[in-house]
Amino acid sequence: MTQEVKVPTLGESVTEATVGEWLKQPGDAVAQDEPIASLETDKVAVEVPSPVAGVLGTQEVSVGDTVEVGALLATIEEGGAPAGDGEEAGRAAQAREQEKQIDQETAAVASGEASSGGDVPTMSPAVRRAVLEHGLDPTTIKGSGKDGRLTKEDVLAAAKAKGSTPAPSQSAPASPAPSPAPAPATSAKGERRTERVKMTRLRQTIAKRLKGAQEEAALLTTFNDCDMTAVIEAREAYKEVFAKKHGIKLGFMSFFAKAACLALKDVPAVNAQIDGDEIVYHDFVDISVAVSAPNGLVVPVVRNVESMSFAEVEQAIAGYGKKAKEGSLTMDDMTGGTFTISNGGVFGSLMSTPIINPPQSAVLGLHRIEDRPVAINGEVVIRPMMYLALSYDHRIIDGREAVTALKIMKEAIEDPMRMLIDL
Protein backbone atom coordinates (compact mmCIF):
# COMPACT_ATOMS: atom_id res chain seq x y z
CA MET A 1 0.00 0.00 0.00
CA THR A 2 1.33 3.39 -1.02
CA GLN A 3 1.39 6.17 1.57
CA GLU A 4 1.83 9.81 0.62
CA VAL A 5 4.20 12.07 2.56
CA LYS A 6 3.13 15.70 2.47
CA VAL A 7 4.62 18.96 3.72
CA PRO A 8 3.49 19.25 7.36
CA THR A 9 2.12 22.37 9.04
CA LEU A 10 5.12 24.59 9.58
CA GLY A 11 3.79 27.13 12.04
CA GLU A 12 1.68 30.23 12.25
CA SER A 13 1.85 32.40 9.09
CA VAL A 14 4.42 30.05 7.47
CA THR A 15 3.03 28.65 4.24
CA GLU A 16 6.06 27.37 2.36
CA ALA A 17 9.55 25.96 2.77
CA THR A 18 12.57 24.94 0.73
CA VAL A 19 13.70 21.33 0.38
CA GLY A 20 17.10 21.41 2.06
CA GLU A 21 18.14 17.77 1.88
CA TRP A 22 16.84 14.27 1.22
CA LEU A 23 17.84 12.02 4.11
CA LYS A 24 16.57 8.88 2.34
CA GLN A 25 16.77 7.83 -1.29
CA PRO A 26 14.30 5.76 -3.35
CA GLY A 27 14.59 2.10 -2.38
CA ASP A 28 15.89 2.85 1.11
CA ALA A 29 14.14 1.11 3.98
CA VAL A 30 12.56 3.54 6.46
CA ALA A 31 11.09 3.01 9.89
CA GLN A 32 7.96 4.75 11.13
CA ASP A 33 8.72 8.30 12.28
CA GLU A 34 12.22 8.14 10.77
CA PRO A 35 13.13 11.46 9.04
CA ILE A 36 13.26 11.22 5.26
CA ALA A 37 13.78 14.87 4.31
CA SER A 38 14.78 18.22 5.79
CA LEU A 39 12.87 21.41 4.98
CA GLU A 40 14.18 24.92 5.53
CA THR A 41 11.72 27.63 6.55
CA ASP A 42 12.30 31.30 7.24
CA LYS A 43 13.19 30.49 10.85
CA VAL A 44 14.08 26.84 11.42
CA ALA A 45 14.92 23.58 9.68
CA VAL A 46 12.17 20.95 9.95
CA GLU A 47 12.65 17.22 9.47
CA VAL A 48 9.78 15.34 7.81
CA PRO A 49 9.18 11.87 9.30
CA SER A 50 7.82 8.83 7.52
CA PRO A 51 4.23 8.08 8.56
CA VAL A 52 4.76 4.31 8.18
CA ALA A 53 7.49 1.69 8.00
CA GLY A 54 8.39 0.55 4.50
CA VAL A 55 10.51 1.58 1.54
CA LEU A 56 10.86 5.07 0.07
CA GLY A 57 9.17 5.03 -3.31
CA THR A 58 9.40 8.29 -5.23
CA GLN A 59 10.72 11.75 -4.49
CA GLU A 60 8.24 14.20 -5.96
CA VAL A 61 10.42 17.29 -5.46
CA SER A 62 14.13 18.08 -5.66
CA VAL A 63 16.56 19.73 -3.29
CA GLY A 64 16.18 23.49 -3.58
CA ASP A 65 12.52 23.37 -4.63
CA THR A 66 10.02 25.60 -2.84
CA VAL A 67 7.05 23.62 -1.52
CA GLU A 68 3.81 24.73 0.13
CA VAL A 69 2.15 23.22 3.18
CA GLY A 70 0.20 20.13 2.11
CA ALA A 71 2.22 19.58 -1.08
CA LEU A 72 3.28 16.01 -1.95
CA LEU A 73 6.91 15.32 -1.05
CA ALA A 74 7.29 11.57 -1.54
CA THR A 75 5.63 8.19 -1.42
CA ILE A 76 6.30 5.28 0.92
CA GLU A 77 5.59 1.68 -0.04
CA GLU A 78 4.15 0.41 3.22
CA GLY A 79 5.41 -3.03 4.14
CA GLY A 80 7.45 -3.06 0.95
CA ALA A 81 10.71 -3.84 2.71
CA PRO A 82 12.56 -6.94 1.51
CA ALA A 83 12.80 -10.17 3.48
CA GLY A 84 14.25 -9.68 6.91
CA ASP A 85 12.19 -6.52 7.39
CA GLY A 86 12.02 -7.03 11.15
CA GLU A 87 15.78 -7.28 11.36
CA GLU A 88 16.15 -4.24 9.10
CA ALA A 89 13.73 -2.25 11.25
CA GLY A 90 15.69 -3.25 14.34
CA ARG A 91 18.91 -2.08 12.76
CA ALA A 92 17.23 1.18 11.72
CA ALA A 93 16.01 1.79 15.26
CA GLN A 94 19.48 1.03 16.60
CA ALA A 95 20.99 3.40 14.07
CA ARG A 96 18.58 6.16 15.11
CA GLU A 97 19.64 5.78 18.72
CA GLN A 98 23.27 6.02 17.64
CA GLU A 99 22.44 9.13 15.59
CA LYS A 100 20.88 10.78 18.65
CA GLN A 101 24.00 10.11 20.70
CA ILE A 102 26.26 11.32 17.94
CA ASP A 103 24.14 14.44 17.41
CA GLN A 104 24.44 15.29 21.09
CA GLU A 105 28.21 14.80 21.11
CA THR A 106 28.67 16.70 17.85
CA ALA A 107 26.45 19.49 19.14
CA ALA A 108 28.79 19.89 22.09
CA VAL A 109 31.72 20.22 19.67
CA ALA A 110 29.73 22.68 17.57
CA SER A 111 28.92 24.71 20.67
CA GLY A 112 32.58 25.15 21.49
CA GLU A 113 33.33 26.18 17.92
CA ALA A 114 30.45 28.63 17.88
CA SER A 115 31.50 30.29 21.12
CA SER A 116 34.96 30.82 19.69
CA GLY A 117 33.55 32.52 16.63
CA GLY A 118 33.73 29.64 14.10
CA ASP A 119 30.95 29.13 11.57
CA VAL A 120 29.61 25.61 12.14
CA PRO A 121 28.34 24.20 8.82
CA THR A 122 24.95 22.56 8.45
CA MET A 123 25.37 18.77 8.53
CA SER A 124 23.09 15.84 7.86
CA PRO A 125 23.03 12.97 10.39
CA ALA A 126 25.27 10.84 8.16
CA VAL A 127 27.80 13.64 7.83
CA ARG A 128 27.70 14.35 11.57
CA ARG A 129 28.39 10.64 12.18
CA ALA A 130 31.39 10.68 9.82
CA VAL A 131 32.79 13.87 11.38
CA LEU A 132 32.59 12.40 14.87
CA GLU A 133 33.97 9.00 13.89
CA HIS A 134 37.05 10.56 12.26
CA GLY A 135 37.52 13.24 14.96
CA LEU A 136 37.50 16.12 12.46
CA ASP A 137 36.69 19.82 12.84
CA PRO A 138 33.79 20.45 10.39
CA THR A 139 34.64 24.16 10.12
CA THR A 140 37.95 23.28 8.40
CA ILE A 141 36.34 21.15 5.67
CA LYS A 142 35.19 22.70 2.40
CA GLY A 143 31.71 21.52 1.44
CA SER A 144 31.01 20.48 -2.16
CA GLY A 145 27.24 20.01 -1.73
CA LYS A 146 24.41 22.42 -2.48
CA ASP A 147 24.86 25.81 -0.81
CA GLY A 148 28.30 24.70 0.39
CA ARG A 149 26.94 21.87 2.53
CA LEU A 150 29.31 19.16 3.71
CA THR A 151 28.82 15.73 2.16
CA LYS A 152 30.00 12.42 3.53
CA GLU A 153 32.50 12.25 0.68
CA ASP A 154 33.95 15.62 1.77
CA VAL A 155 34.48 14.26 5.27
CA LEU A 156 36.02 11.01 4.04
CA ALA A 157 38.37 12.92 1.75
CA ALA A 158 39.43 15.16 4.62
CA ALA A 159 39.93 12.11 6.84
CA LYS A 160 42.06 10.46 4.17
CA ALA A 161 44.18 13.57 3.80
CA LYS A 162 44.63 13.71 7.58
CA GLY A 163 45.33 10.00 7.83
CA SER A 164 42.42 9.48 10.20
CA THR A 165 40.66 6.16 10.69
CA PRO A 166 37.24 5.85 12.30
CA ALA A 167 36.91 4.47 15.80
CA PRO A 168 35.56 0.89 15.78
CA SER A 169 31.91 0.49 16.78
CA GLN A 170 30.58 -2.91 17.81
CA SER A 171 26.97 -1.78 17.78
CA ALA A 172 26.99 -0.25 14.30
CA PRO A 173 25.56 -2.45 11.54
CA ALA A 174 28.11 -3.80 9.12
CA SER A 175 28.09 -2.14 5.72
CA PRO A 176 30.58 -1.83 2.89
CA ALA A 177 32.77 1.25 3.24
CA PRO A 178 32.07 3.86 0.56
CA SER A 179 34.93 4.82 -1.71
CA PRO A 180 36.34 8.13 -0.53
CA ALA A 181 36.38 10.99 -2.98
CA PRO A 182 39.82 12.25 -4.05
CA ALA A 183 41.22 15.02 -1.87
CA PRO A 184 40.67 18.49 -3.34
CA ALA A 185 43.64 19.86 -5.22
CA THR A 186 45.72 22.46 -3.42
CA SER A 187 45.68 25.89 -5.04
CA ALA A 188 48.87 27.02 -6.68
CA LYS A 189 50.82 29.59 -4.71
CA GLY A 190 49.51 33.09 -5.40
CA GLU A 191 46.39 31.83 -7.20
CA ARG A 192 43.30 33.99 -6.59
CA ARG A 193 39.96 32.15 -6.42
CA THR A 194 36.34 33.13 -5.94
CA GLU A 195 33.31 31.02 -5.11
CA ARG A 196 29.58 31.66 -5.42
CA VAL A 197 27.30 29.96 -2.90
CA LYS A 198 23.54 30.46 -2.93
CA MET A 199 22.16 31.95 0.27
CA THR A 200 20.02 29.61 2.34
CA ARG A 201 16.38 30.49 2.84
CA LEU A 202 17.08 31.34 6.48
CA ARG A 203 19.95 33.67 5.59
CA GLN A 204 17.84 35.39 2.92
CA THR A 205 15.08 36.00 5.47
CA ILE A 206 17.53 37.34 8.04
CA ALA A 207 18.95 39.71 5.42
CA LYS A 208 15.51 41.00 4.43
CA ARG A 209 14.34 41.47 8.02
CA LEU A 210 17.45 43.32 9.16
CA LYS A 211 17.50 45.57 6.10
CA GLY A 212 13.78 46.19 6.53
CA ALA A 213 14.34 47.17 10.16
CA GLN A 214 16.97 49.71 9.13
CA GLU A 215 14.78 51.17 6.40
CA GLU A 216 11.52 51.35 8.39
CA ALA A 217 12.56 52.04 11.99
CA ALA A 218 14.29 55.18 13.26
CA LEU A 219 17.18 53.30 14.84
CA LEU A 220 19.33 54.83 17.54
CA THR A 221 21.68 53.26 20.10
CA THR A 222 22.51 54.47 23.60
CA PHE A 223 25.46 53.10 25.57
CA ASN A 224 26.48 52.69 29.17
CA ASP A 225 29.17 50.78 30.99
CA CYS A 226 28.46 48.42 33.82
CA ASP A 227 30.58 47.25 36.74
CA MET A 228 30.17 43.47 36.88
CA THR A 229 31.90 43.04 40.25
CA ALA A 230 28.73 42.43 42.29
CA VAL A 231 27.28 39.90 39.83
CA ILE A 232 30.56 38.00 39.62
CA GLU A 233 30.79 37.91 43.43
CA ALA A 234 27.15 36.82 43.75
CA ARG A 235 27.64 34.00 41.27
CA GLU A 236 30.78 32.88 43.08
CA ALA A 237 29.06 33.00 46.48
CA TYR A 238 25.86 31.21 45.45
CA LYS A 239 26.93 28.96 42.55
CA GLU A 240 27.20 25.74 44.53
CA VAL A 241 23.98 26.03 46.55
CA PHE A 242 22.14 27.35 43.47
CA ALA A 243 23.26 24.41 41.33
CA LYS A 244 22.46 21.95 44.11
CA LYS A 245 18.93 23.30 44.58
CA HIS A 246 17.97 23.99 40.97
CA GLY A 247 20.16 21.57 39.00
CA ILE A 248 21.62 24.28 36.77
CA LYS A 249 24.41 26.86 36.89
CA LEU A 250 23.70 30.47 37.76
CA GLY A 251 24.67 32.38 34.61
CA PHE A 252 24.84 36.02 33.55
CA MET A 253 21.78 35.90 31.29
CA SER A 254 19.30 35.44 34.14
CA PHE A 255 20.64 38.58 35.83
CA PHE A 256 20.22 40.64 32.67
CA ALA A 257 16.81 39.13 31.89
CA LYS A 258 15.51 40.04 35.34
CA ALA A 259 17.17 43.46 35.18
CA ALA A 260 15.44 44.03 31.85
CA CYS A 261 12.08 43.16 33.43
CA LEU A 262 12.60 45.90 36.03
CA ALA A 263 13.41 48.42 33.30
CA LEU A 264 10.56 47.42 30.99
CA LYS A 265 8.07 47.65 33.84
CA ASP A 266 9.16 51.22 34.64
CA VAL A 267 9.54 52.24 30.97
CA PRO A 268 6.76 50.35 29.13
CA ALA A 269 7.52 51.96 25.75
CA VAL A 270 10.69 49.87 25.51
CA ASN A 271 8.49 46.75 25.71
CA ALA A 272 5.93 48.02 23.19
CA GLN A 273 5.58 47.87 19.42
CA ILE A 274 3.99 49.81 16.58
CA ASP A 275 1.00 48.25 14.80
CA GLY A 276 -0.23 50.53 12.03
CA ASP A 277 -1.10 53.85 13.65
CA GLU A 278 -1.35 52.31 17.13
CA ILE A 279 1.14 51.52 19.88
CA VAL A 280 0.69 48.11 21.50
CA TYR A 281 1.82 47.93 25.14
CA HIS A 282 2.40 44.60 26.90
CA ASP A 283 1.98 43.82 30.59
CA PHE A 284 4.24 40.78 30.18
CA VAL A 285 7.87 40.36 29.13
CA ASP A 286 8.68 37.76 26.48
CA ILE A 287 12.41 37.94 25.85
CA SER A 288 13.96 36.70 22.61
CA VAL A 289 17.39 35.34 23.56
CA ALA A 290 19.99 34.92 20.83
CA VAL A 291 21.59 31.45 21.01
CA SER A 292 24.11 29.77 18.76
CA ALA A 293 23.01 26.96 16.43
CA PRO A 294 24.82 25.06 13.65
CA ASN A 295 22.97 27.18 11.06
CA GLY A 296 23.79 30.48 12.79
CA LEU A 297 22.23 32.56 15.54
CA VAL A 298 18.56 31.99 16.34
CA VAL A 299 16.29 33.81 18.79
CA PRO A 300 13.86 31.54 20.66
CA VAL A 301 11.49 33.27 23.09
CA VAL A 302 11.48 32.89 26.89
CA ARG A 303 7.92 33.81 27.85
CA ASN A 304 6.61 35.59 30.96
CA VAL A 305 10.08 36.29 32.27
CA GLU A 306 8.63 38.84 34.72
CA SER A 307 7.06 35.98 36.70
CA MET A 308 9.99 33.54 36.45
CA SER A 309 12.71 32.85 38.99
CA PHE A 310 16.40 33.06 38.16
CA ALA A 311 16.52 29.27 38.01
CA GLU A 312 13.55 29.08 35.64
CA VAL A 313 15.17 31.63 33.32
CA GLU A 314 18.46 29.70 33.28
CA GLN A 315 16.65 26.41 32.65
CA ALA A 316 14.61 27.87 29.80
CA ILE A 317 17.67 29.36 28.11
CA ALA A 318 19.68 26.14 28.54
CA GLY A 319 16.78 24.14 27.11
CA TYR A 320 16.61 26.35 24.04
CA GLY A 321 20.38 26.20 23.62
CA LYS A 322 20.26 22.41 23.62
CA LYS A 323 17.37 22.35 21.13
CA ALA A 324 19.20 24.83 18.88
CA LYS A 325 22.32 22.66 18.75
CA GLU A 326 20.21 19.57 18.04
CA GLY A 327 18.23 21.38 15.34
CA SER A 328 14.94 20.65 17.11
CA LEU A 329 13.63 24.20 17.64
CA THR A 330 10.03 24.60 16.50
CA MET A 331 8.21 27.55 14.96
CA ASP A 332 6.37 28.08 18.25
CA ASP A 333 9.73 28.42 20.02
CA MET A 334 10.65 31.29 17.70
CA THR A 335 7.31 33.10 17.52
CA GLY A 336 6.58 36.31 19.41
CA GLY A 337 8.88 38.17 21.75
CA THR A 338 8.56 41.72 23.07
CA PHE A 339 12.27 42.45 23.74
CA THR A 340 15.60 40.89 22.70
CA ILE A 341 18.89 40.27 24.50
CA SER A 342 21.92 39.46 22.34
CA ASN A 343 25.25 38.53 23.94
CA GLY A 344 28.04 39.29 21.50
CA GLY A 345 30.50 39.07 24.36
CA VAL A 346 30.76 35.29 23.98
CA PHE A 347 32.38 35.95 20.59
CA GLY A 348 34.72 38.60 22.02
CA SER A 349 32.82 41.74 21.00
CA LEU A 350 33.80 44.88 22.93
CA MET A 351 31.01 47.12 21.62
CA SER A 352 28.31 47.01 18.95
CA THR A 353 25.08 48.64 17.77
CA PRO A 354 22.58 45.74 17.58
CA ILE A 355 19.62 45.94 15.20
CA ILE A 356 16.10 45.50 16.59
CA ASN A 357 14.10 42.37 15.83
CA PRO A 358 10.83 43.64 14.20
CA PRO A 359 8.14 44.19 15.32
CA GLN A 360 9.98 44.69 18.61
CA SER A 361 11.16 48.19 19.42
CA ALA A 362 14.36 47.57 21.39
CA VAL A 363 17.27 45.16 21.81
CA LEU A 364 19.90 44.97 24.55
CA GLY A 365 23.42 44.12 23.42
CA LEU A 366 25.85 42.57 25.91
CA HIS A 367 29.60 42.50 25.37
CA ARG A 368 32.75 40.98 26.78
CA ILE A 369 33.85 41.63 30.34
CA GLU A 370 37.32 43.11 30.66
CA ASP A 371 39.31 44.66 33.48
CA ARG A 372 39.51 48.44 33.09
CA PRO A 373 40.64 51.32 35.33
CA VAL A 374 37.71 53.28 36.76
CA ALA A 375 37.47 56.10 39.31
CA ILE A 376 35.62 55.15 42.53
CA ASN A 377 35.49 57.52 45.50
CA GLY A 378 38.32 59.56 44.04
CA GLU A 379 40.61 56.57 43.51
CA VAL A 380 41.52 54.69 40.34
CA VAL A 381 40.78 50.98 40.70
CA ILE A 382 40.60 48.03 38.34
CA ARG A 383 37.10 46.61 37.87
CA PRO A 384 35.53 44.02 35.50
CA MET A 385 33.53 46.25 33.16
CA MET A 386 31.06 45.55 30.36
CA TYR A 387 29.66 47.93 27.76
CA LEU A 388 25.86 47.75 27.41
CA ALA A 389 24.12 48.91 24.22
CA LEU A 390 20.39 49.54 23.86
CA SER A 391 19.23 49.99 20.27
CA TYR A 392 15.70 51.30 19.95
CA ASP A 393 13.08 52.60 17.52
CA HIS A 394 13.05 56.37 18.02
CA ARG A 395 9.54 56.53 16.51
CA ILE A 396 8.09 55.02 19.68
CA ILE A 397 10.85 55.40 22.31
CA ASP A 398 12.22 58.82 23.26
CA GLY A 399 15.86 59.27 24.14
CA ARG A 400 14.99 59.97 27.78
CA GLU A 401 13.07 56.69 28.01
CA ALA A 402 15.86 54.68 26.40
CA VAL A 403 18.56 56.16 28.62
CA THR A 404 16.38 55.66 31.72
CA ALA A 405 15.70 52.01 30.85
CA LEU A 406 19.39 51.27 30.27
CA LYS A 407 20.32 53.04 33.52
CA ILE A 408 17.83 50.87 35.45
CA MET A 409 19.41 47.74 33.98
CA LYS A 410 22.90 48.98 34.86
CA GLU A 411 21.92 49.75 38.45
CA ALA A 412 20.23 46.37 38.89
CA ILE A 413 23.34 44.55 37.65
CA GLU A 414 25.65 46.63 39.85
CA ASP A 415 23.42 45.90 42.88
CA PRO A 416 22.01 42.38 42.22
CA MET A 417 20.79 41.98 45.79
CA ARG A 418 17.82 44.09 44.72
CA MET A 419 16.69 41.16 42.60
CA LEU A 420 15.38 37.91 44.03
CA ILE A 421 17.67 34.94 43.38
CA ASP A 422 15.13 32.44 44.70
CA LEU A 423 17.38 30.72 47.24
| Comparison of pLDDT for 98 and 175, the residue scoring more | 98
Q: Is the dihedral of CA 18, 20, 23, 27 positive or negative?
A: positive
Residue type, position 178, single letter:
P
Is pTM beyond 0.85? Reply is no
Q: Going by CATH, does the domain composed of 2-78 fall within 2.40.50.100?
A: yes
pLDDT at 133: 74
Strands of 66-68's sheet in order across? 45-49, 35-40, 16-22, 66-68
- What are the start-end ranges of the H helices in 45-143? 85-115, 125-134
**pLDDT for residue 165 is more than 80:** no
Architecture of the domain spanning 105-162: Irregular (4.10)
Q: In the prediction, which pLDDT does 120 show?
A: 53
- Measured CA to CA in angstroms, residue 287 lies from 209, 255, 391 at distances of 18, 13, 15
Residue-level pLDDT at 162: 76
Name the catalytic one among 33, 266, 332, 394. 394
Per-residue pLDDT band at 207 (split at 50, 70, 90): confident
Phi-psi region of 107 (alpha: psi -120 to 50; beta: other; left: phi over 0): alpha
Dist. CA 133–CA 123, nearest whole Å:
14
Q: Which residues have a Cβ under 8 Å from the Cβ of 173 and sit 6 or more positions away?
A: 91, 94, 95
- The residue among 61, 34, 37, 58 whose CA lies nearest residue 47 is 37
Whether 398 is a known active-site residue: answer yes
Q: Which long-range contacts (CB under 8 A, 24 or more apart) does 172-177 make?
A: 172/95, 172/98, 173/91, 173/94, 173/95
Handedness of CA 364, 367, 370, 372 (dihedral sign): negative
Instruction: Quick: pLDDT tens for 338-394.
Output: 999 999 888 899 999 999 988 999 999 999 999 999 999 999 999 999 999 999 999
Q: What is the pLDDT of residue 12?
A: 61
Which class is 206-418 in CATH? alpha beta
Percent of the chain with pLDDT over 90: 43
Report how many helices (DSSP H) and strands (DSSP E) the chain contains, helices first.
9, 19
| Strand pairing category for 16-22 and 219-227 | unpaired
Distance CA 152, CA 191 (A): 28
More confident site: 159 or 300: 300
Within 10 Å of residue 87's Cβ, how many Cβ atoms?
11
Contact (CB, 8 A) for 254 and 420:
no
Where is pLDDT greater, at 105 or 296? 296
- pLDDT (tens digit, 9 = 90+) per residue, 260-275? 999 999 999 999 999 9
Question: Is 394 considered catalytic here?
Answer: yes
Bridging pattern class, strands 362-366 and 339-343: parallel
Highest averaged pLDDT of the listed ranges 156-170, 175-189, 387-401:
387-401
Q: Taking the domains of the chain in order of start, what are their residue ranges?
A: 2-78, 105-162, 206-418
Same-fold call for 2-78 versus 105-162: no
The catalytic residue among 277, 398, 415, 422 is: 398
The rounded distance, in Å, linking the Cα atoms of 355 and 207 is 12
Three-class HEC string of 223-279: EEEEECHHHHHHHHHHHHHHHHHHCCCCCHHHHHHHHHHHHHHHCHHHHCEEECCEE
Inter-residue contact 362 to 342 (CB < 8 Å): no
The per-residue pLDDT for range 71-88, each reduced to its tens digit, is 999 999 987 544 344 444
